[in-house]
Chain A
Amino acid sequence: MVSILGLRMPRELFRILVAWAVVSAIGIPAVWFLLGPHLPPGTMSNSAADQQFDNTVLAVCVVPVAAFLAIYFPYCLVRFRHRGTTFEDGPPLKGDGRVMVAWIAGTSALVLFLAGWGSWELFPGEHGAGGGQGPDPLQIATPANAAGALQVQVIGQQWQWTYRYPQYGFETDQLVLPQGQLVEFHVTSLDVIHSFWAIQLGVKADAVPGSDNVAFTQPGRVGSFQVRCAELCGIWHGHMFTEGRVVTQSDFQSWVGQQKRTLAPASGSLPPYAPSYYPTPLTRGG
């Protein structure tokens, strides 16, 4: 037995705890500082950065648990392996109340922390994950500067995303966003359920016929990002992806002008802007 701070424990457990403490002390800062900045979805937008922070916290929580398992089992396999040629029962196992209390308390604290942390981070707002809170969210979904947000309606249909810019009066198959401006996505569908996933922006919102699913994001860096459908939606589901762009404000205005000119023949035929559409009639064809 070993006595540490008045706490007596078996020598084996002491060794395991020491190794665990060392690996955790190295692993936690390594994950936080080295792995964390490279975790998806990156930091292209504020919502993406929020999610990367969440993923980093979760990864840090995993380190001590994984370290304990990675040390405990190999140690036991080696230290307590069977020796000799005769097979006989080992000594009977006895429960240890302190170990059970420590195990239950530790795992409960971790699970409760993760549940609380996850719930808090799911709430929209400054600390929220930024994706698909619905048209009338329960919590404070609207950022402070929402009045000046760029409205982009994301319309899913089998099998292409189109994007309506109601403030500029056109719809296009290109998703281009201005750097630094808050964007308010309104995600809907014209046929079946799709899921709009702008990966590097950290936005994922279901596209449901008749529903308006709202998500905010603020792109912080010029570049490209992937858009995919994250809901199995038919034969070309796997092809339902495009590449969006974040551009400077001046490039965005140039792009808007070009789109308005190019898409003028169709823009006049667009229905009045509505937060959502419903496929009517239910059956077509013939």
Chain B
Amino acid sequence: MSRAMRLALVAVATAAAGVLVGFYIVAFLMATPPTVNSAQTSPGQARITLQTVAAIGFGAHPDWVSYLVQDPQGRWVHSTILRVPAHSLVHVTIYQYDTASGLRNPFYSQVRGTVGGIMYLNGKATRAIKPDDPGHTFAIPDLGLSVPLQGVPDDAKNQCEAAPCSTSQAHNTIEFTFRTGAPGSYRWQCFVPCAAGFVFGNGGPMQTMGYMDGFLEVQ
């Protein structure tokens, strides 16, 4: 092969590699979960329904813990970007299918930022749970909202293996209401180090949009 041919080959290979790397970076940056609208129940009020699962069961990381959100048509969507109206009451229902991991900081065992400072755990008004009991939390720090989600007992029968889970399976139901403020993007996250297999439990799904991190788009 001539010197010119070899140079051309190297140039083409380099360009192709650059294009592939560029595609990868763009795809990574653009891989945003879909935005799911809340269901409007009445003027000034909306409803969000979520579930937490121990393993999403599909996609790039089928064994990762995750949230799912129900769209207004009742379908479960793998996303954590939620759109709600501004200056409204948002009623939240979370079906918690995962078992407990426990909090690293017991401060998050208390319900904060909800209407009345309470949540309803399986229908019972609750202000705090034991720090070892949460499987996850639903927290929006900029709104002062933090709700611990009681984990399913380890020995519960009929546990959900993969999403989406059904209410016929072992779960806890957590309901609460909070008030949104001005329009904006408010990040939310889980404060339980629930990423199994990662150092300190805070890698993987805890650091990835669409799993245990998301945005509340207040509009």
Contact = CB atoms under 8 A, between A and B. Distances in A.
Interface of A: 155, 157-160, 162, 171-173, 190-192, 234-236, 239, 242, 262-263, 265-266, 269-271, 279, 282-286
Nearest to A170: B107
A157 B196 contact: no
B127 A191 contact: no
Given A157-B191, A160-B191, A284-B201, 7 more contacts: A239-B142, A266-B106, A269-B106, A284-B200, A285-B101, A285-B196, A286-B99
Given A236-B213, A239-B141, A269 B130 contact: yes
Contacts of B111: 265
A284 B139 CA distance: 19
Nearest to B106: A269
Contacts of B189: 159, 236
Contacts of A159: 141, 189
The DSSP consensus for interface residues of chain B is loop
B106 A279 contact: no
Interface of B: 54, 65, 99, 101-102, 104-111, 117, 127-128, 130-131, 139, 141-142, 144, 187, 189, 191-202, 206-209, 213
B192 A190 contact: no
Contacts of A265: 109-111, 127-128
A282 B106 contact: no
Contact of B202 (A158, A173, A239, A286): A158
B197 A285 contact: yes
B194 A284 contact: yes
B106 A285 contact: no
22 contacts: A157-B104, A159-B189, A160-B139, A162-B105, A171-B105, A171-B107, A190-B105, A191-B200, A236-B187, A236-B213, A265-B110, A265-B127, A266-B110, A270-B107, A283-B196, A284-B101, A284-B201, A285-B101, A285-B194, A285-B195, A285-B196, A285-B198
Contacts of B195: 284-285
Q: Is the interface of A mostly helix, strand, loop or mixed?
A: loop
Contacts of B197: 283, 285
Nearest to A236: B187
Given A284-B200, A286-B196, A234 B207 contact: yes
B100 to A, nearest CB: 10
Given A191-B202, A234-B207, A286 B101 contact: yes
Nearest to B98: A286
A286 B105 contact: no
A235 B139 CA distance: 15
Q: Which of B187, B195, B200, B213 has the most CB of A within 10 A?
A: B200
B187 A191 contact: no
Contacts of B213: 235-236
